[in-house]
Amino acid sequence: MNLIVSKIGLPATLEQLAEEAAELSKAALKLARVIRAENPTPVGYCQAVDSLLEETADVRNCLNVLVDAFPSLVNTEQAENEKLTRWLDRLEKADREG
């Protein structure tokens, strides 16, 4: 088992992933806010992008740590492809209906 998981336990590792995922969500929302410029924020574009990259790295690190506990995390290509196809299909349908 991964050293981090063996030190803090699987539940704490999953909590860490959830926390980092929430921070990634906030960073993405902040960047969208900066890009839209509809609701002013003191954060600039470069800082917002840096935060998004930092939080992405944190989430990826957590996922990499969890691979030992959940080996299927390594091979998500099929699920990713299916979800991407559904997303693209929804966009195409919206274009046809719009």
Residue-level pLDDT at 39: 93
User: Would you list the domain boundaries of the chain?
Assistant: 3-97
Query: With the C-alpha atoms ordered 21, 25, 26, 30, is the resulting torsion angle positive or negative?
Result: positive
Q: What's the pLDDT at 1?
A: 55
Identify the segments of the chain with pLDDT beneath 50: none
Question: Token digits for 10?
Answer: 């699987």
Q: What is the pLDDT of residue 66?
A: 94
pLDDT at 68: 87
Residue 75 Cα distances to 41, 63, 64, angstroms: 38, 12, 12
